[in-house]
Structure 1
Amino acid sequence: MLNLFLSAGMLTGFPLFAKAYGLSGSLNAYSVAATSDGGFALIGYTYSYGAGNGDFLLMKASSAGVLEWAKTYGGSGSDQGYKILLTTEMDYVMFGYTGSYNPFYYTLLIKTASDGTIQWAKTYQLYISGYGAGSAVVTSDGGFALSGQRVNDICVIKLAPDGSVQWAKSIDGPQGENPGCIIETSDGGFVVVGQTASWGSGPSDFIVVKLASDGAVQWARVYG
């Protein structure tokens, strides 16, 4: 049995509570978000429940860490959830990859109501992993921005609130780049970070790219 563990603490560093959720089998948690009722939503994946060989696992806990419900999402292939986002309506958006709905393990985005009921699910030609390669953010217009890898390049995809693609931008280099985190900036643009083998002084350097709200590259900096 593997347990999921959730801990909350005060500013002093002393814990308010610590909870382990001992569901049977293999469970993995990657991301947590605070909910409007003072509780928490956790996203990860499980091989022990659901439809197939790994499924998204969404768990809702109260402000005291008491498990309220847990739901799985996925198909017969391997599906793994890595990040959870909250929309302005306090719905959930789960970010991960799928082997069930695309044979190339593309990105899967699932939007649910606050009770975990699916509203929509869509796949995108973007490669990610649970170890920092790729990320997602809710944008000020109610949509989303995703970072990931496409053909060995960093790629950013901007989505409308319904998950439809508005634009996609690749940071092309001759040697290959790996994506990291993405944030929205105050001017409606984006900053994405990652790793580059195409520019810089070494075989692998740190890259920061600033994009305008339409995806145009405004500047890029390499450190290393």
Structure 2
Amino acid sequence: MRKTLLSVCSLFLMIFLSAQEVVWEKSIGGEHAEYLYNAIPTPDYGFLILGSSASDATGDIKKNNQGSLDYFLWKMDENGKQEWQNSFGGSGTDFLYAAKPTPDGGYILAGASTSTKSGDKTSENQGAEDIWIIKIDANGNLQWQQAFGGNGNDIPTDVLVTEDGGYLIAANSNSTPSELKKSENFGGNDYYMIKLDKKGKLIWEKTFGGTYDDKVKSILQTKDGFILVGNSNSPASGNKTVEQNGNKTWIVEIDNEGNIRSENSLGLNNENYLISAEQKEDHYLFAVNEKNGSKITSKVIETDFSLQPIKTTELKVENNLSITEIRNVNDSFLLTANKISSLQEATSGEIESYYITKSFDKNGTSVWEKKFGEKGFNYLEKAITTRDGSTILFGNSTQQAKGNKGQSDFYLVKLGKEGDDIKRISLEVYPNPTSDIVNVIINKEFTTSSIEVYNLAGQHLQTKDVKYRSTPISLGSYPGGVYILKIKTDNKSESIKIIKK
């Protein structure tokens, strides 16, 4: 099931527009402050925004706040039109940092919470910040939740849907063992990994680190395990065996049970900081800033799946850019960053910041650069490529010229070329065959729609009204065999055969 989902999601990064024009811009928020931390593309050509909100039901916000900050998520189509929104929170501050689509059409959410048992949260707080995991369905409704953490800070950075249908959460932890965290702490922050089954039950938890700070950023899946990628300034200590001086990229390869197989620092001799990591069809890409004295060099290191270097590309980047990510798209690199002006440079009399996107060819030569944002503080957090071939920039902004509703709003910019679009499949169903859930994606506008399920004898089994483009249908209660899905949209009807295992 997961392989089928990945084959759909792999289309997201196949297309890159060389001519970058603004298709639309949007500010989203309420009367107080909203903080965007992440965004992910979705199989129906849209995207899901992740962040936190301090606003009650004002402006674009539909629910009242339950504490200081609540998880806030917003599902939109490729035109920036809202499909649904929801928020979850307790009495404290709840920061939503990561999410992934799940095989049943829903999403797994990972964030950090200081809330006690209150509001939507059903577990007590163990320390400063606990990991709060929420599973939602395709329409944003809560299905289950879990919390993990010790007496300090436990902050997730990434979540992965694993081959067995479960989940792996990557977090940074400085907590000692407690009721909700059993693994030891080796120093400052450690890589803290939590493996759950598809219902949220804990399978195992592990920590990796040395005497100082070790902070994981990303999880990449291997054919029989995972690699954990982050930054470390620990010497060989704790369960870390790689010796080093200063901060360096630290890659830990583990098996499916969380046991260490190998460690790697990409063979870099100088102090360096991991910017981002990316898994391609047949290789990995690691973007780093390498420091040699006062000189900082941005590099993209390509390795095979054994982490053996294939190619290193040096990008010519100004040192005054705060880089958020470097991605490989076809034969070029897309860099996203923030450029913060000094008080002397600012035109508004206050410190200003702008979104920056830069394109480089395969040799690292700059091709074009664009700046986005007007007077005010605009801070880019994430860039994604959606299935319609566009790049969307996500961040936070205080600029009133774009219609801000409060102190800080989500600020979205869609880049592309007006009128350009890839050829779409009007109707998609996955996975097929399935053991339970099948997801129906209607890739076109419609007013009314429904899905009917029949067996081969023509017996009508169920009907489900369709509200959004992506709709999960459960076949779990039916015996194995072939079923017919009849999808009606306005005045048109299409049928698809589904194999139930």
TM-score range, shorter chain: 0.7 to 0.9
Q: Distance in 2 between matches of 1:37 and 1:193?
A: 29
1:185-215 CA-to-partner distances (Å, cap 9, x unmatched) read: 122x010012222224323222110001111
Aligned-residue offset at 1:45: 0.2
1:156-171 aligned within 5 A: 156-171=193-208
Aligned match for 2:247, one of 173, 188, 204 = 204
Instruction: Give TM-score, length-normalised by structure 2.
Output: 0.40
Aligned match for 1:114, one of 118, 138, 141 = 138
Partner of 1:45: 52
Check whether the contact 2:99–2:158 (CA below 8 A) recurs between aligned residues: no
**Which one has a bigger Cα radius of gyration?**
2
Q: Distance in 2 between matches of 1:175 and 1:60?
A: 39
Aligned-residue offset at 1:42: 0.9
Q: Distance in 1 between matches of 2:111 and 2:172?
A: 13
Taking CA–CA contacts closer than 8 Å with sequence separation of 6 or more, which of the two structures ends up with the larger relative contact order? 2
Partner of 1:219: 262
Q: Distance in 1 between matches of 2:158 and 2:254?
A: 16
Change beyond 3 A, Cα 1:17–1:214 = same
Q: Does 1:36 align with 2:43?
A: yes
Aligned-residue offset at 1:97: 0.5
CA RMSD of aligned residues (A): 2.1
1:56-95 aligned within 5 A: 56-95=71-110
Q: Does 1:17 align with 2:24?
A: yes
Percent of aligned positions with the same letter in both sequences? 27
Partner of 2:192: 155
Aligned-residue offset at 1:178: 1.9
Q: Distance in 2 between matches of 1:201 and 1:15?
A: 45
Letter in 2 for 1:45: S
Aligned-residue offset at 1:134: 2.6
Aligned-residue offset at 1:22: 4.1
Q: Does 1:192 align with 2:228?
A: yes
Check whether the contact 1:32–1:40 (CA below 8 A) recurs between aligned residues: yes
Q: Distance in 1 between matches of 2:95 and 2:75?
A: 17
1:148-205 CA-to-partner distances (Å, cap 9, x unmatched) read: 1233321211111111111112114233422221121122x01001222222432322
Compare 168-177 and 105-114 and name the one that shifted more: 168-177
Change beyond 3 A, Cα 1:170–1:22 = closer
Check whether the contact 2:234–2:244 (CA below 8 A) recurs between aligned residues: no
Q: Does 1:26 align with 2:33?
A: yes
Unaligned runs of 5+ residues in structure 1 are 1-8
Structure 2 residue matching 1:38: 3-state secondary structure: coil
Letter in 1 for 2:160: V
1:60-110 CA-to-partner distances (Å, cap 9, x unmatched) read: 112211123321101111111011211011202211101114142111111
Q: Does 1:123 align with 2:153?
A: no
Number of aligned pairs? Answer: 212
Unaligned runs of 5+ residues in structure 2 are 1-14, 57-64, 117-124, 174-184, 236-242, 272-501
Q: Distance in 1 between matches of 2:209 and 2:246?
A: 16
